[in-house]
Structure 1
Amino acid sequence: MLFSKSYRFLTPLFIVMTTLVIIACSSDKFVPDGQYLLDKVELRSDRKDVNSSLLMQYVRQKGNSRWFSLFKIPLGTYAMAGQDTTKWINRTLRRMGEEPVLYDSVQARLSAEDLTVAMQNMGYMNATVDVDKKVKGKKLTLNYQLHPGDPYIIDQFNYDIEDSIIGKVLASHLNTDTKPPRQFTVTSLDDERKRLTHILNDSGFYRFHKDFIYYTADSTQGKQHVNVTLHLMKYVEHSEAEPTLHPRYIINNVNFIPADSTGFHLRKSVLEDNTLIEKGKYFSATDLQKTYNNFSRLGAVRYTNINFRELPRYDSLVIGKSFGYTTSSTHYLDADIQVSNNKPNTISFQPEGTNTAGDLGAAAVLSYQNRNLFRGSEHLSLEFRAAFEAIKGLEGYKNSDYEEYSVQAHLQFPRFLAPFVSKNFKRKSSATSEVSVGWNLQNRPEFHRRVFSSAWKYHWLDPNRHLTYDFDLLNLSYVYMPWISETFKHDYLDNATTRNAILRYNYQDLFILRTGFGLNYSWANQAFRAKVELAGNVLNGLSGIFNFKKNSEGKRTLFNIAYAQYAKFDFDYTKVLRFDERNALALHGGFGIAIPYGNSTVLPFEKRYFSGGANSVRGWSVRELGPGKFKGVDGRIDFINQTGDMKLDLNAEYRTHLFWKLDAAAFIDAGNIWTLRDYEDQPGGQFRFKDFYNQIAVAYGLGLRLNFDYFILRFDGGMKAINPAYTSAEEHYVLWHPNLKRDFTFHFAVGLPF
């Protein structure tokens, strides 16, 4: 009975989906006589090294879309409509659904031709494709049987460069024949054209493009073996012109032009430092792109336009003599850089709803931004925030209000600021520097808390390697507790029966001085993030030199305030496997560990891990899970104690597009948190290698997402499957003994979970 009651809410959904599947299977009324519904399209290859799934993009006609790659719900919705299109219900169902895909023999023939060409481009020059059809009733399954044959192999790769100057420029960049034979593919040949074109565009050949390069192939040496020659032609200005040496361009003058009458808001030195196009240097396409990139990073600049003007031939010869260039192929360019200014100052006001202290409240945020503080595109942002909540159900305290006030200031420099760094390095670096300072005041009925923070950070990009880096040179937090109520002290901090080491540590004054480094890699449907954070080592070194005093707990102090010391490591990896334009499988793994040592035996509360919630194991609410098999205090959620020093998250989510802006997902989550030490107030929470796999929680569920491209609203419902905090077998393996009230958790969030 428990099983049926807990899953009663799924019955209507199951009935609807089953009905739509049955209707989709009986959509023959929309298939005219003599035609067939294209039920399925398959690709099969004779060779294992030819991935047929990658060739599906060349198939012009595919079957109706499927939810989760299984159910033809859109077709079923369409099939529910009647033939009378004057009725609104029929028009609505057709609009929501998907019209049946009828087999088209012409599209099948064209698809076979496209597949053949695709395999030939991969080097299988003798490839063929057979089209097999299987008909059952009014449904047709189409199978493209791929016969690639043996690939063609390049024995020799030669170069024929007609331009003597280009030949000298490329001499050190040409691939030799010392490499082993490689497969003949159109992609690799085109990549070589692009590579040489890029080198020449960076060496002054402003008008060179890859169409000046072509190939010839000689296959007479043997079956499936070819000799390939790359030909690079001379420059031809137009169809009637004689071939000449390719013109090579040198930058003559660089001119900065304001886009409007207000002139430049930036200092001239800033314009010059962000411009890699320099007088006397050969034209470089890479320098041009980097110049665009540099100006796009400046908040004071709205847009940039760079034009090149070729000097008349006579002027080029005169300038060339002054530079010492007399070759007939040398030409000169003037670069005109037009810069448009952005609005420097903005002020905004934003009201918010809050739930910081457990009850609804209100907050207001006033923000000010200056995008050009010192006329160098320095970005200053100031934020003032005030919040208020009336706390209910809190007894034994004089006041029942929660107040919070904060001010944050950030100043970002669009360049790398550091001593002993050359000007040339700063110009070529894509790094930004940021200094920040903040003050946060919290007044609760139980205590008053003040947090001062300041930081010096660097952020830079490496787009060629798809990497971003973050480096916190110094990050200081000072937590100050000016007042704690006697009631709170008696009930939680001083009471021998409820005394908690973790709780006490987080209600003391504390210094956190840390450094950190983060790396993010994102490319081709996969992302990897890593972050390392070290705290307290600088202060510990100074303590050894200046012999800092110790407090009553034996912790070294600075200005009579203990400092935290720990090392924290976080790793996160996500990969998305796309099956078609509507279906994908997202796999995610995350691991983190933080080790308190030296001057700390407990991590600061802000640095501790928690599990559960919309981005973790979704069968639990945030901070409900762990550590280990810890069940909370008297079976209740414990905000402080349900935190840990180590975290593991494993997630698999099948994502599918439904219709309009609506997507769906089915997911399985696993993970937990653990402590590294055996804390008395967290029994069963310590990580032990021989036990941890038995303490991994598992959840499953379904989700709906409103995908508006620029943001996603997410609604996920998770059910517990394996609960490590149990008192009975039914509680442990809740997959077989589900209870909706106990095991179901609903989540609302913005953005994808990973």
Structure 2
Amino acid sequence: MGIPFRITRTFAKISLLFLAMVINSCNTLKRVGENELLLKKNAIYADGKAVKDENIESLVFQEPNSTILGYPLRLNLYYLAKKNPDSSFQAWLYRKEKREQRLIDFLSKKQVDRLGESFLVSGLSEWLKKIGESPVIIDTVKTKRSLERLRAYYGSKGYFNNNTTYVIDTVKKKRGAIEYKIDLGQPFSIDSISRNIASKAIDSIYLLHTENAFVKRGDQFDLSFFAQERERLSAIFRNSGIYNFQESSISYDIAADTTKLADDQKMNIELNIENFKRRGDSAVTTSDYKVYKFNNVNIYTDYLYDERDSEQKFVRYDNYTIFYHNKLRFKPKTLVNAVFFEKDSIYREINRTRTYRQITNLGVFKYPTITSVPSSENGLDANIYLAARPKYSLGTSFEVTRSNIQQVGLALSPSLQARNLFSGAENLSIAGRVSIGSSNDPSIIDNRFFNIQEYGIDLNLDIPRLWFPFFDTSRIIPSYTLPKTRISLGTSFQKNIGLDKQAFNTVLSYNWIPSEFIKHNIELLNVQFVRNVNPDRFFNVYRNSFSQLNSIAATDVYSGNSSLSDFYESPVGNTPRLTIPSGTTGFTNAILNNEVPSTREDFESVSVIEERRQRLTENNLIFASNYTLNLNNREGLTDNKFFQFRFKFESAGNLLSAISQIIPFNKNENENFLVFGVPYSQYLKTEFDYVKYWSISRNNVLALRTFFGIAIPYGNSNNIPFVRSYFAGGANDIRAWSPYSLGPGRTDAINDFNEANLKISLNLEYRFPLLGNLKGALFADAGNIWNVFDNVEDPAATFTGFRSLEDIALGTGFGLRYDFTYFVLRADLGFKTYNPAEEISKRWLTDFNFTNAVLQIGINYPF
């Protein structure tokens, strides 16, 4: 989501002048004492080799002041604050004998007393100190504490005999650097591993799972491996029937091997797993761990924490007992499919997690409560307590928007949610949208301020399983993968927006998530019908196409032809202009039907314009199916070392093409098959989208995105529908160009909305902190769109081979982001670094200036 703006040269000059004034007014040493050193650098050496590990560097207490491209911005902001603003104010107040009294007479005694606490006196300084950063003065006490941390860290890695020292060097006047030096010595390794396990059940399970242990004989000692091994064993035991296993039961005895030579540095490890401990009122008791099986699985559907169990009814279904009040509102099969505990099966922690996820995924219950209670010596009762959400709920949202279509827009979106519609946790949502906006488009005759409107309605039915007639999908796609079927119906209507499209769509889709890493989505049926209500407005809306056509018609060859005079608004000789739509249609037909003589160049130009007009004004019927695979190994919002991959394949028109072999469809003059009077689209489309993040340091991130997409028309189509084509430019794409303004190929944005059916893009962005929640970024975006395998013949717009890669545009720039926790507000300033639309000698850096820069405003990160 983004909005492009142009930057003026005056604004740029003022900004640079202000920045220069700030830089020149600051001195990074003005608050560093005579016998103090400002910390400029930390360096860690292990056995003489520089250490660049971010985790090890974080052990040092003092770090140099942060910089932005080498400039200590936060330090200098801190220096802008007055050291003692109240004292300065008092000195100013009493500098002149009658100043205080004059202020009291003008204000009041109380207000004068408060001036010292005001924002202008002390508040501004406090704010600057808060967003700034005080100078980091080298403190030997903190340096020694850093040494202790480094010593402990390397000790945890098996270097028990390491020695640490530090050296402080004066690099410049009042500036110093600290070198931490660690002599590691020989690491200790594991010579033997023995076990002391109190419970026979635990011992048996342990022996079955020794192969993937983190602590192994012969490995170098590493304390982190012991923590990972404790977590591994705990997960194994809890998934093998030990429902009450305590991780604190696991401990290790570590001792040096005294039978070896002193310099052999071997260690003997003993694994201890104690019995279960229960803390009572007066004592701690112990008992053997046991493998538990479920005796009963109970589901309470109306659990409100204060209900009386005696009033509940129950029904038994597949060894499950379902309790309810008054009337059971849910199908037993739906409830049972969401629970992964089974009678006579052993307890598994993973089944508990899956039950939580699936019940939450149903969307009809609040977060469930699950307990496992011993009911016999080796038996458990599983109790699942559910509290239903309201059957119906209403919602509404209000938005204020701005885009390249409208200056300002207001949108109201009411919604109704109906849960558990057919007693199987089916959820129906009905959402409407009504929006009005203001546009200064000269093609709009409506003179009212809010002169554009759009309204629509969407219905979505979510079914918590893969609904497929006559086939049970649970055998191949189990319910723990959170399968969901969605049936969608929607329609929207536009007025005074483009050609006033009316769109109708329906989707039957399936998605499931086998793991946190993988997500599948299949749209078995995706039907979209787009009707252009006012195709005669084409040349009013697409002004570039009109300008091209009118420039041909305005030449003396045609404007002086009396047979064409009815097509012009003004008399011949007074800047002729074609009327819309009769004049544009008449002139086009006259040229293409050879009713008037024309040059080959004019004929081809008019032919291209007419082909585009027909494509963008014809109604579209898209009958498609697609599959999307998403891979994502991100482990949370703070994870900055991950990748995302998305693959999508779509096929359109094949089913209708097959039906046309059985049922004779009508055809139009181009021999295209018609369904309900509309030629259906037929194409194959595929996309590859890859995102990779690298953590350069704790707060600095390098992000990469690559995209490749191609759509190939065939059969009943010789081009791709506009709604399925690609465009370049915008806040999430090539940011030095506005949306739809780049390409295709090396063409210079010859159309109002430039699109094509092949796209390649690559985005690289370096993100770094500035002030608190304000972040900065440097970016480079490369890419373009082309026509390929369709009816466009312009060599400047088509992809003809590897040489067409010379048409890849490059935009570079910088941006600011402010993190509001729930979303990020983003501003990016892009400069045209390489513009393929220019002559070869002028492509590099010709438009690299603030005048031609584009400011993109967006929400959240671009990728």
Q: TM-score normalised to the size of structure 2? A: 0.76
Report deviation, 1:489: 7.6
Aligned to 2:430: 382
Q: Please tell me whether residue 132 in structure 1 is matched to residue 167 in structure 2.
A: yes
Alignment of 1:332-347 (within 5 A): 332-335=380-383, 337-339=385-387, 341-342=389-390, 344-347=392-395
Aligned-partner residue type, residue 705 of structure 1: R
Aligned to 2:725: 608
Paired with 1:429 and 1:305, the residues of 2 have a C-alpha distance of 21
Q: Is the 8 A contact 1:305 1:339 kept in 2?
A: no
Q: Which runs of 5+ in 2 are unaligned?
A: 1-6, 87-120, 308-323, 538-579, 593-605
Aligned to 1:320: none
Report deviation, 1:453: 0.7
Aligned-partner residue type, residue 529 of structure 2: Y
Paired with 1:42 and 1:488, the residues of 2 have a C-alpha distance of 74
Report deviation, 1:559: 4.1
Report deviation, 1:447: 4.5
Paired with 1:109 and 1:702, the residues of 2 have a C-alpha distance of 40
Aligned to 2:752: 639
Q: 2:822 aligns with which of 702, 710, 733?
A: 710
User: Larger C-alpha radius of gyration, 1 or 2?
Assistant: 2
Aligned to 2:201: 165
Aligned to 1:529: 645
Aligned-partner residue type, residue 203 of structure 2: G
Aligned to 2:316: none
TM-aligned CA distance change 1:572 to 1:121, over 3 Å: farther
Report deviation, 1:512: 1.2
Report deviation, 1:476: 1.0
Q: Is the 8 A contact 2:725 2:757 kept in 1?
A: yes
Paired with 2:184 and 2:27, the residues of 1 have a C-alpha distance of 35
TM-aligned CA distance change 1:98 to 1:544, over 3 Å: same
TM-aligned CA distance change 1:739 to 1:245, over 3 Å: closer
Paired with 1:721 and 1:663, the residues of 2 have a C-alpha distance of 24
TM-aligned CA distance change 1:150 to 1:644, over 3 Å: farther
1:457-516 CA-partner distances (Å, limit 9, x unpaired) = 1223344x4333322121111223466338448637955426343442232233212222
TM-aligned CA distance change 1:179 to 1:705, over 3 Å: closer
TM-aligned CA distance change 1:423 to 1:725, over 3 Å: closer
Report deviation, 1:613: 0.9
Paired with 1:392 and 1:237, the residues of 2 have a C-alpha distance of 75
Aligned to 2:611: 501
TM-aligned CA distance change 1:244 to 1:663, over 3 Å: closer
Paired with 1:445 and 1:351, the residues of 2 have a C-alpha distance of 19
Report deviation, 1:439: 1.8
Alignment of 1:21-36 (within 5 A): 21=23, 25-29=27-31, 31-36=32-37
TM-aligned CA distance change 1:518 to 1:489, over 3 Å: farther
Q: 2:781 aligns with which of 659, 664, 669?
A: 669
Q: Please tell me whether residue 475 in structure 1 is matched to residue 526 in structure 2.
A: yes
Q: Secondary structure at the match of 1:740?
A: coil
Q: Is the 8 A contact 1:627 1:682 kept in 2?
A: no
Q: Is the 8 A contact 1:357 1:389 kept in 2?
A: no
Aligned-partner residue type, residue 175 of structure 1: E
Aligned-partner residue type, residue 76 of structure 1: N
Q: Please tell me whether residue 428 in structure 1 is matched to residue 474 in structure 2.
A: no
Q: Is the 8 A contact 1:697 1:723 kept in 2?
A: yes
Q: 1:286 aligns with which of 350, 358, 373?
A: 350
Paired with 1:581 and 1:445, the residues of 2 have a C-alpha distance of 47
Report deviation, 1:361: 5.4
Q: Is the 8 A contact 1:446 1:484 kept in 2?
A: no
Q: Is the 8 A contact 1:39 1:63 kept in 2?
A: yes
Alignment of 1:304-343 (within 5 A): 304-311=368-375, 316=376, 330-335=378-383, 337-339=385-387, 341-342=389-390
Q: Please tell me whether residue 252 in structure 1 is matched to residue 345 in structure 2.
A: no
Structure with bigger strand share is 1
Q: Please tell me whether residue 121 in structure 1 is matched to residue 156 in structure 2.
A: yes
Paired with 1:601 and 1:672, the residues of 2 have a C-alpha distance of 21
Q: Secondary structure at the match of 1:301?
A: coil
Paired with 1:306 and 1:684, the residues of 2 have a C-alpha distance of 65
Q: Please tell me whether residue 747 in structure 1 is matched to residue 790 in structure 2.
A: no
Aligned to 1:323: none
Paired with 2:683 and 2:790, the residues of 1 have a C-alpha distance of 17
Report deviation, 1:255: 4.5
Paired with 1:396 and 1:488, the residues of 2 have a C-alpha distance of 15
Q: Is the 8 A contact 2:718 2:791 kept in 1?
A: no
1:74-100 CA-partner distances (Å, limit 9, x unpaired) = 101111233332143544432332111
Q: Please tell me whether residue 233 in structure 1 is matched to residue 274 in structure 2.
A: yes
TM-aligned CA distance change 1:104 to 1:359, over 3 Å: closer
1:635-686 CA-partner distances (Å, limit 9, x unpaired) = xxx134x212222222222222222432222222221112214755744111
Aligned-partner residue type, residue 658 of structure 1: L
Aligned-partner residue type, residue 267 of structure 1: F
Paired with 1:228 and 1:597, the residues of 2 have a C-alpha distance of 69
Q: Please tell me whether residue 144 in structure 1 is matched to residue 180 in structure 2.
A: yes
Aligned-partner residue type, residue 529 of structure 1: F
Aligned to 2:584: 491
TM-aligned CA distance change 1:720 to 1:37, over 3 Å: same
Q: 2:739 aligns with which of 618, 622, 629?
A: 622
1:727-752 CA-partner distances (Å, limit 9, x unpaired) = 4633x1225x64433x2111111111
Alignment of 1:327-726 (within 5 A): 330-335=378-383, 337-339=385-387, 341-342=389-390, 344-348=392-396, 350=398, 352-353=400-401, 362-388=410-436, 394=442, 402-419=452-469, 420-421=471-472, 426-444=478-496, 447=499, 449-463=501-515, 465-481=516-532, 484-485=535-536, 487-488=580-581, 491=584, 495=589, 496=592, 497=606, 499-520=609-630, 521-523=632-634, 524-525=639-640, 526-530=642-646, 531-546=648-663, 548-633=665-750, 638-640=751-753, 642-677=754-789, 680=792, 682-726=794-838
Paired with 2:392 and 2:187, the residues of 1 have a C-alpha distance of 60
Q: 1:303 aligns with which of 333, 344, 367?
A: 367
Paired with 1:102 and 1:709, the residues of 2 have a C-alpha distance of 32
Paired with 1:259 and 1:45, the residues of 2 have a C-alpha distance of 60
Q: Is the 8 A contact 1:21 1:72 kept in 2?
A: no
The CA RMSD measured in Å over matched residues stands at 3.6
Aligned-partner residue type, residue 850 of structure 2: L
Paired with 1:573 and 1:174, the residues of 2 have a C-alpha distance of 37
TM-aligned CA distance change 1:246 to 1:632, over 3 Å: closer
Report deviation, 1:430: 1.1
Q: How many residues align?
A: 723
Aligned-partner residue type, residue 418 of structure 1: F
Paired with 1:697 and 1:704, the residues of 2 have a C-alpha distance of 23
Aligned to 1:212: 249
Report deviation, 1:538: 2.4
TM-aligned CA distance change 1:644 to 1:654, over 3 Å: same
Q: Which runs of 5+ in 1 are unaligned?
A: 318-329
Q: Is the 8 A contact 1:6 1:738 kept in 2?
A: no
Paired with 1:121 and 1:106, the residues of 2 have a C-alpha distance of 23
Paired with 1:536 and 1:47, the residues of 2 have a C-alpha distance of 67
Percent of aligned positions that are identical: 27
Q: Secondary structure at the match of 2:826?
A: strand
1:88-129 CA-partner distances (Å, limit 9, x unpaired) = 354443233211122222222222222233233344444444
TM-aligned CA distance change 1:75 to 1:353, over 3 Å: closer
Paired with 2:217 and 2:655, the residues of 1 have a C-alpha distance of 53
Paired with 1:41 and 1:61, the residues of 2 have a C-alpha distance of 9
